[in-house]
Every structure is written in structure tokens, then in C-alpha cells.
Chain A
Amino acid sequence: GAVVSQHPSRVICKSGTSVKIECRSLDFQATTMFWYRQFPKKSLMLMATSNEGSKATYEQGVEKDKFLINHASLTLSTLTVTSAHPEDSSFYICSAGQRNTEAFFGQGTRLTVV
């Protein structure tokens, strides 16, 4: 089946710094990828839809300037958490899929801001 790779799996950063998370589709082209956030014991919350070659579509309540998304190629989307603060600590997961197939998830990134 299709594979989505996410990197890094864990990152610890200092408050005020920025962190970039990569999401790659390894064996298919993904014009659209999705970024989710998950708090402990909670479900996945869709943050934004990453569109190749155009601006991302953010869900209500998600700060565009805080969570920068770039989808420069058909196999790579990046999420940058800018000026990270402890409340940004969370599990971030990307997904990609093709029409009428299931969504394939990356391994997830555990971000801890200290």
C-alpha cells in the first residue's frame, strides 16, 4: 500500500524557536496533504489542507502565521511551527491519499516545547 513518511518523529525545542516537520508521500503523488494535531487522549483535529503549488487552507481557529505550510512538490509538504511555545506541544500527524482510497498517515511527530 501507499506509504507516507513523516520526519522527525520526536523533537524538543526551546520556547521561541521554530520547528519544521516534513511529510513525504513515497510511492505516489499527492496534490493534497492534510495536517492534524492530537492532544493526549483526544482525537485528531484537522488543522489545514496543504495544496501543491498554492496556499494551504486552514481550519477555523488555526493561526496561519503560527503554522506555516508549504507544499512545493507533489511528494513533500512541510509544517513549520513558528515561535513555538509550550502550549504548542502536541502530536502532529500528516496524511495523504488518492481519490476514493483510504488516507495514509505519517508516523507522527511528538513536539515538546520547553
Chain B
Amino acid sequence: GQNIDQPTEMTATEGAIVQINCTYQTSGFNGLFWYQQHAGEAPTFLSYNVLDGLEEKGRFSSFLSRSKGYSYLLLKELQMKDSASYLCAVRDNDNQGGKLIFGQGTELSVKP
């Protein structure tokens, strides 16, 4: 079956660094995605990993280890506006260009 796990909620302080972990067990793998979602809005794309290693994009970085079925999203220099839900998603092998299986999401609260 398909299983993607991430913590339900996290709290961090403005200006700090936070790491959100995601572990997955899926029948196929064609990339791992991180999305940010504010309440009542659609998800917005943050990062994409298909090979092992770290991808850096400004204040956001994402890491992938395919052998361990593990990824994390690292947020640096946290800002209040980073309070949101962060979704880890795996794309199956079916190459349908967008079929994603989502984790339950991590609700991040950034406090002053």
C-alpha cells in the first residue's frame, strides 16, 4: 500500500530554523514534492526531489534519501508568514504527470 508519514504539527520561533520530516512507503517512486498550503487556499509548489541529495532554494531546502524512503524540508530564517500546512507528496511511477499521493500535512506555527 501507499503510506506517507509526517508530523501533524510543529511550532517554531521567528528567525529560527525548522526541519519537517517525511517518510514514505509507496509501490512506485517518480519524485517527491513539498507544497505549502495556507488555510482555504490551494497548495503552492515549494520543491521537487527525484535524486538523492539536497536541493536549495532560498530559505527553503529539501533533502531526499531514496534508499531510506525519507525526505525533509528545511525552512531557515522563519517568518510569521511561514505559518501554514506543509504537504509531502510522492509521485507514482505511472508517469501521468501529476498523480500525487499526499501525506497528512504538517501544521507549522511560527511564534514571535
Count of interface residues, chain B, beta-carbon cutoff 8 Å:
25
> Which one, B30, B48, B99, B105, contacts A34 given CB within 8 A?
B99
Given contacts A43-B87, A44-B43, contact A34 B98 (CB under 8 A): yes
The residue of chain B having its C-beta at the shortest distance from the C-beta of A10 within the complex is B40
A98 engages B102 (CB within 8 Å)? no
| Assembled-state Cα–Cα distance A102/B98 (Å) | 7
A101 engages B105 (CB within 8 Å)? no
Residue B100, interface by CB 8 Å: yes
A101 engages B43 (CB within 8 Å)? no
A107 engages B42 (CB within 8 Å)? yes
Query: How many residue pairs bridge A and B at CB < 8 Å?
Result: 71
Residue B95, interface by CB 8 Å: yes
Count of interface residues, chain A, beta-carbon cutoff 8 Å:
31
Residue B97, interface by CB 8 Å: yes
Residue of B48, B95, B96, B105 with most partner-chain A CB within 10 A: B96
Residue B72, interface by CB 8 Å: no
Given contacts A96-B98, A97-B98, contact A102 B48 (CB under 8 A): yes
Chain A nearest Cβ from B93, distance in angstroms: 12
B33 engages A103 (CB within 8 Å)? yes
Chain A nearest Cβ from B18, distance in angstroms: 19
Chain B nearest Cβ from A4, distance in angstroms: 9
Interface string of B89-112 (1 = CB under 8 A from A): 001000111111111110100000
Chain A residues within an 8 Å CB radius of B99: 32, 34, 46, 49
Given contacts A96-B98, A98-B97, contact A43 B103 (CB under 8 A): yes
The residue of chain B having its C-beta at the shortest distance from the C-beta of A97 within the complex is B98
> Which one, A42, A103, A108, A110, contacts B98 given CB within 8 A?
A103
Interface residues of A (CB under 8 A from B): 6, 30-34, 36, 41-46, 49, 91, 93, 95-108, 110
10 contacts between A and B (CB under 8 A): A33-B98, A49-B99, A97-B98, A98-B97, A100-B30, A100-B97, A103-B45, A103-B91, A106-B42, A108-B41
